[in-house]
């Protein structure tokens, strides 16, 4: 692997792409530390600390994770790329249910360009709405009345915050597009991954403080527990790789066709049905739906409402049951939106393809739907286990949630998937120029 990385820097074109990507990621990380004007950053950090002590996860925590900690620092990139992700998911769902957008998506490059433009407009709208509510929340942290986060509250602060946060997100979106076009990998995914990976030093420091190697008597973690955590982390990563790349290959045979003097078809291929068709989106949907009422309730100082907020924020059985149910539901929902067996069956019939032992047309669509339903259940159960692991490990081993978050959940799924895709692209460039890839036997496969 090290030799492959060294070979990547021997290729001038690939070297420029890698350095360009790293340079723009560095720009993104610098912007994550530039604070908003008019913010008392110390009071804001104190607010997040108190919030974390009194309840579990919140929507602020999700935004903060995707923004690489910029939300907690009230930086100009505080919204991160989350509005663009939300807009992309919304447009993808609308494309499947609105005939005009579905027709536009089938028009090729021109149609995709228009949908991308609509996604940008939706991102702008979401940024303005979210930044407005964030500015109001910063002015009135009702949960802790003795904290003054905003130095000079008022309409001027709200407008300035809306403009700054919206511009920051649009700039991040532009950085991602530049990385995708001129760098290596998917720019938006790499920006999210960079934000998640940036939390590793803080998690390592917390783990080191709990271990206390300089004073064994004060250590809160046993050495055997640390070894067990390392083995568990390796096992989780291996499991995520297997489920991310897992496919059910459906054999397809094409009949021979004689056109003029040439014979077409007669080939055997397969349709790859992914075990985890929905990716990480079900976890994001489930977290958002559960944590939104928990976040709102957590800001209202009432004992009953506080109890509801605690039960929905990751510290109760009710949370685990609802979380698991929503993940399984959204796995099937998103798969049904993005996977259309009837279209696949019609395309196969049009080009003379058929699944051995299955009649063309409606029978093929039912066969594909039946198989997809079964393998989606396996993927949904795996996603549920991965999503609940951080909460279970944090409560079982008594370690900070920041450390436990790298043992599962959204973070590990995104990081593993994005790194696989990026390494696959670099390996393709190496093999195209007759260099060895990262693996001596076989090749790295990405998520698609």
Q: State residue 159's pLDDT score.
A: 92
- Per-residue exposure over 315-350, b if at least 16 CB sit within 10 Å of its own CB, e if not: bbeebbebbbebbbebbbbbbbeebebeebbbebee
* Residue 43 maps to a domain: yes
CA separation for the pair 380, 279 (Å, rounded)? 10
Q: Which H helix or E strand runs over 293?
A: helix 281-298
* Residues 17-43: tens digit of each pLDDT: 889 999 999 999 998 888 888 887 777
Residue 24 falls within a domain, yes or no? Answer: yes
The conformation of residue 217, written as its DSSP 8-state character, comes to G
357 located within any domain = no
Single out the residue of 104, 85, 97 nearest to residue 336, CA to CA.
97
What is the per-residue pLDDT across 78-132, written as a single tens digit (0 to 9) for each?
A: 888 888 888 888 888 888 788 888 888 878 778 888 888 999 999 999 999 888 8
| DSSP 3-state of 397 | helix
Range of the domain at 1: 1-198
User: Is 293 a domain residue?
Assistant: no
Examine residue 279 and state whether it is found in any structural domain, yes or no.
Answer: no
Query: Number of structural domains, the chain?
Result: 1
* Residue 280 within a domain: no
Contact status, residue 103 vs residue 138, Cβ threshold 8 Å: no
In a domain, 102, yes or no: yes
- CATH code, domain carrying 36: 1.10.3370.10
Question: pLDDT tens across 209-231, in order?
Answer: 777 655 555 566 777 878 888 88
* Neighbour-count burial of 133, counting CB atoms closer than 10 A to its CB (0-12 exposed, 13-18 middle, 19+ buried): exposed
pLDDT in tens, 58-83: 566 666 666 666 777 778 888 888 88
Q: Is 311 part of any domain?
A: no
φ/ψ region of 265 (left if φ > 0, alpha if ψ in -120 to 50, else beta) reads left
pTM of the model: 0.80
Q: What is the DSSP letter of 262?
A: E
Q: Yes or no: say if 254 and 15 are a contact pair by the CB < 8 Å rule.
A: no
Cβ neighbors of 397 (< 8 A, separation 6 or more) are: 221, 225, 229, 404
């Amino acid at each position: 692997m090290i030799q492959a990385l060294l070979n990547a820097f021997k290729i001038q074109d690939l070297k420029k792409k890698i350095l360009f990507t790293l340079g723009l990621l560095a720009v993104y990380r610098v912007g994550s530390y530039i604070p908003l004007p008019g913010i008392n950053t110390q009071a804001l950090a104190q607010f997040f600390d108190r919030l974390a002590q009194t309840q579990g996860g919140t929507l602020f925590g999700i935004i903060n994770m995707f923004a690489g900690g910029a939300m907690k620092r009230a930086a100009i990139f505080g919204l991160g790329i989350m509005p663009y992700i939300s807009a992309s998911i919304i447009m993808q769902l609308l494309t499947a249910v609105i005939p005009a957008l579905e027709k536009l998506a089938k028009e090729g490059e021109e149609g995709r360009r228009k949908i991308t433009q609509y996604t940008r407009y939706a991102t702008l709208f979401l940024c303005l709405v979210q930044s407005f509510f964030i500015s109001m929340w910063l002015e009135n942290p009702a949960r802790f009345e003795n904290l003054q986060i905003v130095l000079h509250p008022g309409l001027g602060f709200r407008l300035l915050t809306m403009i700054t946060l919206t511009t920051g997100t649009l700039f991040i979106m532009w950085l991602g597009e530049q990385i995708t076009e001129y760098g290596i990998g998917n720019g938006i995914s790499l920006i999210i991954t960079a934000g998640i990976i940036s939390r590793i030093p803080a998690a390592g420091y917390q783990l080191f403080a709990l271990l206390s190697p300089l004073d064994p008597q004060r250590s809160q973690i046993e050495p055997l527990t640390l070894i067990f955590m390392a083995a568990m982390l390796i096992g989780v990563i291996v499991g995520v790789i297997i489920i991310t790349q897992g496919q059910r290959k459906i054999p397809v045979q094409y009949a021979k066709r004689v056109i003029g003097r040439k014979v077409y078809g007669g080939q055997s291929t397969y349709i790859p049905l992914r075990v985890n068709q929905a990716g990480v989106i079900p976890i994001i949907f489930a977290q958002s739906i559960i944590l939104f009422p928990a976040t709102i309730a957590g800001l209202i100082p009432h004992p009953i409402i506080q109890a509801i907020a605690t039960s929905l924020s990751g510290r109760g059985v009710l949370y685990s049951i609802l979380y698991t149910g929503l993940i399984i539901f959204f796995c099937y929902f998103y798969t049904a939106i993005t996977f259309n067996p009837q279209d696949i069956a019609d395309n196969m019939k049009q080009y003379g393809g058929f699944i051995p032992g299955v009649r063309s047309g409606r029978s093929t669509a039912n066969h594909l739907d039946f198989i997809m339903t079964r393998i989606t259940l396996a993927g949904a159960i795996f996603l549920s286990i991965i999503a609940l692991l951080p909460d279970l490990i944090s409560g079982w081993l008594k370690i900070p949630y920041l450390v436990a978050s790298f043992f599962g959940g959204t973070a590990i799924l995104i990081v593993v998937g994005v790194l696989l895709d990026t390494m696959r692209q670099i390996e393709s460039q190496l093999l195209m120029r007759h260099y060895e890839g990262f693996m001596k036997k076989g090749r790295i496969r990405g998520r698609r």
